[in-house]
Structure 1
Amino acid sequence: MFYSIKQSSRLWTFLVFAIFACLAALPAHAHVGSPDVYAEGNAGPYKLFVTVRPPLVIPGVAEIEVRADAAPSASGIEITPIPLTGEASKHPPVADVMKQSAQDKQFFTGTLWIMAPGSWQVRFLVHGSQGDGVLSIPLPATARGTLGMQTNLGIILAVLGAFLILGIVGIVGAAVQDAQLAPGTEASKAARMRAAVAMGVAFVIIAGMVVFGYIWWNNDAQQYSANVYKPLNMRAKLTADHRLKLNLADPGWLKARRLDDFVLDHNHLMHLYMIREPNLDVVFHLHPDQIAPGEFEMPLPSVLAGQYRLYADVVHANGFPETLVASLTLPAINGVPLTGDNSAGTVPPIALSSSSACVAPTGKPRFQFPDGYSMMWDNPEPQPAKTPELYQFSLFAPDGKPASDTGLYMDMLGHAAFVKTDGTVFAHVHPSGTVAMAALMMAEAQNQSPKQQQSKPGMDTSGMNMQGMDMSGIEHSGHQPNVVGFPYGFPTPGQYRIFVQMKHGQTVETAAFDACAKPAKVQ
């Protein structure tokens, strides 16, 4: 009987280990492979650089970092998680106080529980030498995977569980066999048989409980996995008359998600980056028109033949952004001229490196355009993955002086796309950060009256077309700075290409800079 119990305990150990087996996380988010939120904005007189690392699972804890400018100085920051839209957005919970660094008084850290998937905002209330200021940063919250248990910990718990079950069975046997015996009396053969039967019954009952627990756990895990974020599917097709057709389909995630509730972001329902692979040497920034719910279409401009990866940004009415991905092989096309906000760029092929080491470029890389203008990357030093950084670029005129005719391109001083060479990372970034501008304006509208709303330098909000927001009186023209910065952090180590777009006069320039992210710092 003891041998059978021992054998059964091995089965129990296997079951426990299977229960705690790790499940792979799914790489899906509003930005492909880049879930962290980086943003720069003003909370009244205080300028903040915000990093929000959303939880992998929902409910879960978001990690938040804030770097405040030294002047004027911030003495304290409170943070609050609030739904971006709906009645709950009007009733915020009690704020949490961020921890101020003892070594760096302008660096703050904090955590917030995010209790449900959907479109959230983190509201920052800043206290300082010039009173209080408020800033809200949108946070798309999704369950992106499941948290697995470490293998070593699973083995330890399985072994401890095996000892526990053997102990329970042994206690039952001892209770039946020896509990009523007088001291010094040996158990009879009948008593030993009753104990063996009792131990067998106890083992069967406990094993049944383990199996039942495994089934319950597995069913619960499957139900949770069904709620893991699944982006909208996008299928790309080229028609005989060289029109690009995009069909969106919902694979099933949240029941409330729709295909007919997209809102204008920079005057467009969709922003489409089309990048030729594997050399990343051709890039288009296009804006297909919606012709029906879930259907977008546009005539293509002239295109070089090749395999293209398509990244399409859309924003739902509740402020939730999504980036949809598709691939399409295109022949050489003699298409329509680029008009409106559509733009394109042809750049040298990326030099793929077989080495994992990051080497800083010599000096500051400069990209030369055919019309004599050039763009410089001002801070090209390699950064570790998941490190917040303001990537800064400058536009120069043909005479080498800072461009004096810089203008706004789709309401912004610049647009950037951070693309990993293997296609696993794509992020469309603005001077305000990785957040969708439509969602950012929804959040900011709740903090200030329309007359108090002000744009970030280098940003024109007239093209956002957000209901209920008064954009009158905002400066739309005139001289703009020739320098633009993009808050971002590379999510994983490896090679990246940064496409940067700035405008001078009526010309949109597209430059490409190659970057390398080092392994993340060990905390």
Structure 2
Amino acid sequence: MTKDTSRVYYQLKWFVFLCALINSLTYSLTATAHVGSSGVIVQKQAGKYQLLIQVNPPDVVPGTAKVTVFVEQGRVSSIGARPIYFRSGDKGAPTHDVLTPVGDNRYEADLWLMASGSSSVELSIDGPDGKQQVVVPVMALATALRDMPAGTGWGLAAMGLLLVVMLITIIGASNADGIVAPDQSIGAALRRRRLLGMSIGLVVLVLILAGWRSWWNSTSEQYRTQQLYQPLPIHASVNVANGQRQLTIQIDTTDFKKNGRRRTLSYILPDHGKLMHAFLVRMPGLDAFAHLHPIRQDTLHYNVALPPLPGGKYLLYADVVYRSGFAETLTDTVEIPSLKISPEVAANAKPTDRDDSWLVTEPMGVKANAVNMPHLDNDMVVCGKPGASMKLEDGSSMLWMDKASPDLEAGKLYNLKFAVADAQGKAAPLEPYLGMGGHAAILRSDGTVYIHLHPVGTYSMAAEGSLVGRIADTARTFHYPDAAKFRDSIDTYVTKLNSLPEAEKNTLLMTAMPAMSHAMKTNNMVEFPYAFPRAGHYRIWVQVKRNGRVLTGVFDTQVNEPLL
């Protein structure tokens, strides 16, 4: 290689490196920045370890998920984490990344999620108390678009222009230097050859840049129309027949062919024995609440009889889980008409599902001085600690235990702990409700934050079971069974399950989800790990079961931005 050729070669390498740098900067600034998200929170026992886990997935994929593990009990030497996608399973997953200790019994890591879809984070815990593995369901979804800052764009444009000029000059110089000795004077022929080389280089570069721009626009459009998550639309309506209001939820598949965003609607799994958990909350006071379980009529339609809720505009949140472990909340607003019926008709009205429950209470923000109203301020001392209380429909009281302060902080992990005492103030034992110690729903006053909570965290039993089973599968790819047969088998299972006696049904549900077992030290308490994602005014509905009856407590709290 001659001296001139070597010089040209290294100039070209430098040019390619800078082009790659510009491309990577452009992509990262437009597609991999993060915004706040509540993510997934899990609290569970794994052998001798009790862990509190928080995974904040990126809002743009590819991107990094923030994994934080608090070791609440047990001696840990190291924790590893790796993402496992449903479609590729264990065989297609990378090796574990080691989490970094950042404090007393706290470990953190940034974990790359390279593709959208249903995934999980597998944690491998090692220490003197043994080896354990925990699977945390995570939805890897692109939910945001990023605009490049104007200053960065102009800077990259100037750098790109400089690189183009450099490359044209390099091509012209190499075309001339390849046939003319370095010490020979430059004549007219040499100048023409150099200009010719530069002209050809300019044309080639223009074609390359035009092709690159076309590819970039195509990739960007694909991200917007296919990879960027859009909720599955539904249409909710209420019909009245024979003095009974019926809620119908219809799934809208109009855009399936247009944008390629399909859902495997025939492969919906039961979660806690129900194909759909629907929550209705009346706006603006959040004073009427219902937790219902619609029945599937066909692939696109679900029906449920409405309880005696007052008329008005309601927000609807419907939770479903697919065979892939992908969990989704479908949302809509629905106008429920007021209905005047006789006491006899009301008494004979039966819910669609025996586990349906509802509550009508005071509007949000009312400072209560009487029973059966939500309490904004501490009004009771329980075991020497302040707590909020509410009288339940059976005469017992629900107490918010160990509330850190009247106002909570956004982004901070809390254990929301509630206890039930009977009319005499003694601990009131609780029964399993849908296979668990209790359920909770949290809603921000404007409806923009909603979560369905379990004692083990913010994920669903069905999602965990599906992903754990996929990891145990040795197949590199997953093949779905026949859609009609699968749907029919699930409908048969749900019907049979709901016909069982309550004790037998709960035993079957708890056996099917051992990883979600979260036994309390006292059987009148239930707790939920949660971090409020945004400041605002929140209402919390806590549902437990006692003497065969679902009881709902309601509490309000203010959440502020964290103190600096």
**Could you state the TM-score of these two structures normalised by the residue count of structure 2?**
0.72
State the identity %.
Answer: 30
Q: Secondary structure at the match of 2:138?
A: strand
**Map of 1:347 onto structure 2:** 361
Q: Cα distance 1:408–1:426, how it changes in 2: closer, same or farther (>3 A)?
A: same
Which residue of 495, 511, 516 corresponds with 2:553?
511
Q: Is residue 384 of structure 1 aligned with residue 414 of structure 2?
A: no
Unaligned runs of 5+ in 1: 1-15, 353-359, 449-459
**Map of 2:58 onto structure 1:** 55
Which residue of 83, 96, 101 corresponds with 1:81?
83
- Say if 2:543 and 2:551, in contact at 8 Å, map to a contact too: yes
- Say if 1:142 and 1:229, in contact at 8 Å, map to a contact too: yes
Structure 2: distance between partners of 1:478 and 1:205? 71
**Map of 1:297 onto structure 2:** 303
**Map of 2:490 onto structure 1:** none
Q: Cα distance 1:464–1:210, how it changes in 2: closer, same or farther (>3 A)?
A: farther
Structure 2: distance between partners of 1:175 and 1:77? 55
1:223-268, CA deviations, whole angstroms, 9 ceiling, x for partnerless residues? 1222222222111011232211111134437777321211111111
**Map of 2:440 onto structure 1:** 416
Structure 1: distance between partners of 2:557 and 2:274? 30
Which residue of 361, 386, 404 corresponds with 2:428?
404
Q: Cα distance 1:494–1:155, how it changes in 2: closer, same or farther (>3 A)?
A: farther
**Map of 1:117 onto structure 2:** 116
Q: Secondary structure at the match of 2:157?
A: helix
1:104-161, CA deviations, whole angstroms, 9 ceiling, x for partnerless residues? 1x11112333233322222222222322222222122222234443443223222333
Q: Secondary structure at the match of 1:224?
A: helix
Structure 2: distance between partners of 1:315 and 1:371? 33
Q: Secondary structure at the match of 2:387?
A: coil
Q: Cα distance 1:197–1:521, how it changes in 2: closer, same or farther (>3 A)?
A: farther
- Say if 1:44 and 1:134, in contact at 8 Å, map to a contact too: no
Structure 2: distance between partners of 1:146 and 1:258? 26
Task: Name the amino acid aligned to 1:229.
Answer: Y
1:430, CA displacement in angstroms? Answer: 0.4
Q: Secondary structure at the match of 2:329?
A: strand
**Map of 2:463 onto structure 1:** 439
**Could you state the TM-score of these two structures normalised by the residue count of structure 1?**
0.77
Task: Name the amino acid aligned to 1:387.
Answer: K
- Say if 1:384 and 1:518, in contact at 8 Å, map to a contact too: yes
**Map of 1:373 onto structure 2:** 396
1:193-272 matches, within 5 Å, as 206=205, 209-225=208-224, 226-241=226-241, 242-250=245-253, 251-252=255-256, 257-272=263-278
Task: Name the amino acid aligned to 2:128.
Answer: S
Deviates more, 1:303-312 or 1:48-57: 48-57
**Map of 1:6 onto structure 2:** none
- Say if 2:456 and 2:517, in contact at 8 Å, map to a contact too: no
- Say if 1:432 and 1:487, in contact at 8 Å, map to a contact too: yes
- Say if 1:243 and 1:297, in contact at 8 Å, map to a contact too: yes
Task: Name the amino acid aligned to 1:429.
Answer: L
1:455-474, CA deviations, whole angstroms, 9 ceiling, x for partnerless residues? xxxxx99559689x7689x9
- Say if 1:267 and 1:465, in contact at 8 Å, map to a contact too: no
**Map of 1:95 onto structure 2:** 96
Q: Secondary structure at the match of 1:219?
A: helix
1:517, CA displacement in angstroms? Answer: 3.0
1:305-324 matches, within 5 Å, as 305-324=311-330
1:432, CA displacement in angstroms? Answer: 0.9
Unaligned runs of 5+ in 2: 1-22, 367-375, 379-385, 473-502
1:388, CA displacement in angstroms? Answer: 2.4
Q: Is residue 426 of structure 1 aligned with residue 450 of structure 2?
A: yes
- Say if 1:361 and 1:380, in contact at 8 Å, map to a contact too: no
Q: Cα distance 1:477–1:486, how it changes in 2: closer, same or farther (>3 A)?
A: closer
Task: Name the amino acid aligned to 1:49.
Answer: L
**Map of 1:453 onto structure 2:** none
**Map of 1:489 onto structure 2:** 531
1:92, CA displacement in angstroms? Answer: 5.1
Quote the RMSD (CA, aligned, Å). Answer: 4.3
- Say if 1:404 and 1:479, in contact at 8 Å, map to a contact too: no
| Greater share of helix | 2
**Map of 2:381 onto structure 1:** none
- Say if 1:308 and 1:328, in contact at 8 Å, map to a contact too: yes
Structure 2: distance between partners of 1:425 and 1:494? 10
- Say if 2:99 and 2:109, in contact at 8 Å, map to a contact too: yes
Structure 1: distance between partners of 2:28 and 2:222? 17
1:196, CA displacement in angstroms? Answer: 9.1
Q: Cα distance 1:519–1:462, how it changes in 2: closer, same or farther (>3 A)?
A: same
Structure 1: distance between partners of 2:265 and 2:422? 44
1:277-288 matches, within 5 Å, as 277-288=283-294
Q: Secondary structure at the match of 2:416?
A: strand
1:165-186, CA deviations, whole angstroms, 9 ceiling, x for partnerless residues? 4555677899999999x99x99
- Say if 1:177 and 1:191, in contact at 8 Å, map to a contact too: yes
Structure 1: distance between partners of 2:328 and 2:517? 30
Structure 2: distance between partners of 1:158 and 1:395? 64
Count of residue pairs brought into register by the alignment: 477
- Say if 1:372 and 1:398, in contact at 8 Å, map to a contact too: yes
